[in-house]
Amino acid sequence: MRILITGGAGTLGAALIEHWHHQGHELLIIDNFATGKRGNVPAVDRVELVEGSISDPALVESAFTRFKPDLCIHAAAAYKDPDDWYEDAQTNVLGTINVAKAAERCSVKRLIQFQTALTYGRPSETPIREDLRSAPFTSYGISKTAAEAYALMASLPVLSLRLANVTGPRLSIGPIPTFYQRLKAGKPCFCSDSSRDFLDMRDFLAFMDLAVQSSAPTGVYNVSTGEQISIHRIFKTVCEYLGLDPDQDVPIVPVGTDDVPTVVLDPAKAAKDFGWQAAISYKEMMTAMLAWYDKHGVTDVYSHLKTETT
């Protein structure tokens, strides 16, 4: 297959490149390296890189027209600066429109786009089902919610995946790399009084192999374990792994005004329609993630939050 991946230099995109290149697919990557790393796109046969932003309609159109992809994985997103509404709108909204329209014109067989759980805002219940209303309240969440709505209007099969916190090689956002980096350096930490669900990269890739099949369902799906993990538990697990006291005192602070106390997605619909469920346990996931940091280290740590709470 010929697969075009936007945001291919990010954590998820880079994992997909490795996974699908080994399966023999041809890949074209679009990335402007705002948060992705150039080294995440290998210089190998059957992997082509187009450097630039999806907010540039001419660049997107040219890439689609020349490559003629069978599938498009839309992983590109702006989240680096919570106060840069313009960039969020340019990349997340207009960029998605550019991708969707180019996919239509090139008769792409399937568009799969990644959505943030922040589309649910501060949910009234957990675990969160797909039919719970969207109520985003941050620039990132608002722009991604608008982007999803535009993508679903495209005249081709569209699958929008509302993802848990996917952990795996190159992860550079959230509490796991933050705690690992700071604890290794002997720096103080604090935990937000919040919980999330975390998904191992291997489970994510297993789902993606199902998602790209022509007979796979379309529409909106949560992809998650459905397991609620507190940020404090993450802290304790990292301490244990590093041989530190997991019961040491650490400040637990209320979530900020731009954060959500609990985000846990209900994966029941994906289990029913795709026959998929997460297989990697929390312990196995964390051990693999932290062992990767032992070998490769932590590079930049990003957050969509105005005030770091992890």
Q: List, for residues 36-51, the tens digit of each pLDDT value.
A: 999 999 999 999 999 9
What pLDDT sits at residue 56?
98
Q: Which residues of the chain have pLDDT under 50?
A: 301-305, 307-310
Omega before 188 cis (within 30°)? no
What pLDDT sits at residue 45?
96
Q: Give the C-alpha separation, 258 to 137, whole Å.
A: 8
What pLDDT sits at residue 310?
37
State the CATH architecture for 2-166+198-223: 3-Layer(aba) Sandwich (3.40)
What pLDDT sits at residue 162?
98
216-227 in b/e form (b: 16+ CB < 10 A) is bebebbbbbbbb
Residue ranges covered by each domain of the chain: 2-166+198-223
What pLDDT sits at residue 300?
59
pTM for the whole structure: 0.94
Q: Give the C-alpha separation, 200 to 147, whole Å.
A: 26
Q: Give the C-alpha separation, 119 to 151, whole Å.
A: 14
Q: Do residues 25 and 46 make contact, with C-beta atoms less than 8 angstroms apart?
A: yes
